[in-house]
Amino acid sequence: NAGVTQTPKFQVLKTGQSMTLQCAQDMNHEYMSWYRQDPGMGLRLIHYSVGAGITDQGEVPNGYNVSRSTTEDFPLRLLSAAPSQTSVYFCASRAWEGGFYEQYFGPGTRLTVT
Amino acid sequence: KNEVEQSPQNLTAQEGEFITINCSYSVGISALHWLQQHPGGGIVSLFMLSSGKKKHGRLIATINIQEKHSSLHITASHPRDSAVYICAVVESQGNLIFGKGTKLSVKP
């Protein structure tokens, strides 16, 4: 299994540009999520999905859209990038294993908005 | 007030020292994770626990549900243990709430 993959690894955008961060997992996990990590702060939940066709907002959803058309893919869209969205973005999935939800994280995407 | 607090924020140790990182939380949880993030950025899960104690190699994690507190211990620390250690709790809807992390540096 490749686990959770994210592309791109690095991205620089200008204010107002749009882009999609890709996330895919090959473990058939129903639950997937997006987090952002900023200096001096813990990871914060942006959006999550409990299965194909179902998405919900997390703690910091403004400025981001998601969709879940398949179990494998959970892209994160920035419609009009702002400097405040400069961050490292992590996609994750989870599975019920041994009585707990085990978390699997992607390698992250470092986004800079100028 | 942060719902998950970690201490210390930064920790420098000499190789071989016993290390303790603490995590306190203020919300009801179903489980707690300890995660490790290396300088390259990747995050891996070290432990999940909801009671008692777990051990994996030189790492030990404990949790006291009544006191809403967990600790991560590293015995015989090594420079390769240098990383950010993150505590994350599983809240009622199953989502994670993260602490800010503890940056550990182990000097040879």
* 3 state SS for B3-44: CEEEECCEEEEECCCCEEEEEEECCCCCEEEEEEECCCCCEE
pLDDT of residue A46: 97
Interface test with B, best of A31, A87, A105, A109 (most B CBs within 10 A): A105
pLDDT of residue B1: 59
Mean pLDDT of B83-108: 93
To the nearest whole number, what is the mean pLDDT of chain A?
94
Contact A108 B41 (CB under 8 A): yes
Q: B33 — contact with chain A (CB < 8 Å)?
A: yes
Query: Per-residue pLDDT for A8 more than 70?
Result: yes
Of all residues in chain A, the one with the smallest CA distance to B49 is A100
B102-107 and B10-14 as β-strands: parallel, antiparallel, unpaired? parallel
CA B106 to centroid of chain Cα atoms: 16
Better-scored residue on pLDDT, A98 or A76: A76
The SS3 of residue B79 is helix
- pLDDT category at B95 given cuts 50, 70, 90 is confident
Instruction: Write out chain A residues lying below 8 Å of B43, CB-based.
Output: 90, 105, 108
State how far the Cα of B30 lies from the Cα of B32, in Å rounded to an integer.
Answer: 7
Mean pLDDT of A73-96: 95
Contact B54, B47 (CB under 8 A): yes
